[in-house]
Amino acid sequence: MRFVHVADVHLDTSFSGRSPAVRRRLREASRDAFRRAVDLAIREDVHALLIAGDLFDGDRLSFETERFLLDQVHRLETHHITVVYATGNHDPGSQATGPRQLDWPSNVHVAFDDTPKRIRIDGSDGLPVGYVTAIGHETDRETRDLSRLMPRPDGELPEVALLHTQVHSTPGAEDHHAYAPSELSYLIRAGYDYWALGHVHIRQELSLDPPIVYAGSLIGRRHTDTGARGALLVDVGDRDAAALSFRPVAPVRWDTISVDHLEDATSLDRLERLVESAWRSARDEEANGTAVEWMVRVQLVGPCPLWRDLSAQENVRILEHELTDMLGVLDVSVIADRVHPLVPVEEHRVRGDVLGASLRLAEAIRRGETRLDGLDPAALAGVAGDDPALVDAYVRELLTDTDGELASRLLGSEADRS
């Protein structure tokens, strides 16, 4: 049995972007990625397309996206490709507005809830080539281990399990809610030839025998979603040696580059060249980094002669605009809140005055050795609740890379002469 495994498509996800045009392109890119996955299934003449949850991003699709989705599955229908779709926490099956409202064609089988659906997958000759068993999320807060509800397969043909779950201790799982948690050891023992998983956006193989695989999100959604995104082409014809190959389909990729050593950035032009150099070297390290559009976040860090200019948001906007053209990418966002004057912080830290005391205090707080006395959580805009641990972690995060600013503010005009 040959199939394409995708997950976490998140159609109609809302993208944050600098301009409406960029946001529009990102929305289109999600659809383009799904279209390419369908193209891949047709081109590779697979038997099935498996969708491991979170096909939708919200409670419903826009009308246009809905039409697009139905058009694509109709394309698969005309090529006699079966679609098996297990709902996830973003597109739970209980909601009337979710996947239930769509008029799916006959080749699409949706697992809306915890009732296992076992779908026979036929070959071009009409004979079965394998089975896919799927369980869906009925609600958006499924806390049970749904893998335990999967029936134990006992047939002669390849058996594939399709599930949206968070396997314990999976790298990257901390970024996601722990819905439908499952145990890797159980999955391994469950008797399936392949576990097609969704939920964690980082592509990874938790087990090789049997393959227990997160396909990762079909396309990145934010700057932390780095790396190529796409679909897995799987052949489980040989039950003992499944063949997997990753096929990138995302037309847009995300990346964040941190640019430090900005001491020579004495002009906007030089700063741009430093960023360009960092970007080129980052791309050179990547073999297939040319055929996509890029969403790039540039994190400027450390002492920089332009620190005062970069504190003005309008200057940062200009920099973003010019870098977008210079790098030839879809969009660039610049984070410049960690640049500061060329202040010898370590030298000031040992001073026996308030400057030294402040720097030492900041360091102590970051290390968790002390706290700010009498800090009222309600005075903080970015903390909900008054959990001291959360507040302390937040404060520690806020104080990251602030020594330069702290010193420069206390030094005033002296900082410019440093």
Partner 1 sequence: MKIERIRIDAFGRFSDFDSGAEPLQGLNVVLGPNEAGKSTLFHFLTTMMYGFQPASREANPYSPWDGLDASGSLRISLESSGCADIERQLRSQPSGKMTFEGTTEELRNRALPWVEAVPRSVFSQVFAVTLGDLAGLDAETWAGIQDRLLGAMGASDILPARTVAGELEQEAGAIWRPHRRGNQRVRDLQEEIGKLRVRRRDAADRDRDVRHLVGDLESSRGRLTEAKEERERQRVALERVEILTPIRARLVRIDELRAAAGPIASVEGLPTSPEDEVASMDRELARLNEQLEALLADSPSLRDTDTPDDDKSRRVLSRAEEIRALGARGAGSLTDRARSASLELDLLETERQLDQHAATVLEGPWRQLPRGALASLPMEDFRQAVGDLRSARDNRRILEASAGHSSGPTPPGPSGRLPVGAAVLGGTGLIAGSFLDLPALVAVGGGGVALAATLWFQGRQKTAENANPDEAVERAVANERSAGDRARGLMQELPIRPDLLGQPDELLVAGLDKLQGLVRDHERRTSELRDTTNRIQALETEAQALAASLGFDSTLTLDVLLQLFESEVRRAERATEVASQSERELARLGRDRGRMEADIQALALRRATLVGRLAELGKGDLRRGFQDAEAALQGHQRADQLEAELESAHPDLNAIRDRIIAAESSSESWTVTDDDLARRRVALQRLGDEIEDTAARAEALDRDLVHSRGQETVDTVDGEIATLTDEETRQVRERDRKWILAQLLREADRSFREEHQPDLIRRAGKYLSHLTGGRYDRILVDETSTGDIFRVTGPDLQQPMPLTPPISTGTLEQAYLSLRLAIVDHLDKGGERLPLFMDEAFVNWDPDRRDRGMAVLTSVSRTRQVFVFTCHPNVASALGSAGARVIELDRDS
Closer to partner 1 by CB, 173 or 343: give it: 343
Closer to partner 1 by CB, 97 or 281: give it: 97
Per-residue tokens: 340: 């500061």
- The 8 Å CB, 24+ separation contacts for 245-248 are 246/203, 247/40, 248/288, 248/292
Residue 321 touches partner 1, criterion: CB under 8 A: no
Residues in binding contact with partner 1, number by CB under 8 A: 54
Residue 394 touches partner 1, criterion: CB under 8 A: yes
What is the rounded CA–CA span in Å between residue 302 and residue 298? 13
Closer to partner 1 by CB, 58 or 172: give it: 58
Among 10-18, 112-120, 182-190, 244-252, which window interacts with partner 1 (CB under 8 A)? 10-18
Residue 70 touches partner 1, criterion: CB under 8 A: no
Residue 378 touches partner 1, criterion: CB under 8 A: yes
What is the rounded CA–CA span in Å between residue 21 and residue 89? 29
What is the rounded CA–CA span in Å between residue 172 and residue 179? 14
What is the rounded CA–CA span in Å between residue 415 and residue 402? 14
Residue 298 touches partner 1, criterion: CB under 8 A: no
Instruction: Provide the residue type at 149 as one letter.
Output: L
What are the residues facing 293 on neighbouring strands?
A: 252
- Output the DSSP codes for 95-163: -TTTGGGS---TTEEEE-SSS-EEEEEE-TTSSEEEEEEE---SSTT--S-GGGGSPPP--SS-EEEEE
| Near partner 1 by CB under 8 A: residue from 20, 126, 328, 385 | 20
3-state secondary structure of 7: strand
Residue 358 touches partner 1, criterion: CB under 8 A: yes
Closer to partner 1 by CB, 62 or 277: give it: 62
Among 210-218, 246-254, 321-329, 356-364, which window interacts with partner 1 (CB under 8 A)? 356-364
Question: Is residue 6 within 8 Å of residue 231, measured between CB atoms?
Answer: yes
Closer to partner 1 by CB, 180 or 359: give it: 359
| Near partner 1 by CB under 8 A: residue from 12, 142, 159, 225 | 12
Catalog residues that contact partner 1 under the rule CB under 8 A. 12, 14-18, 20, 23-24, 26-27, 58, 60, 62-65, 337, 347-348, 350-358, 360-362, 365, 372-373, 375, 378-383, 394-395, 398-399, 402, 405-406, 409-412, 414
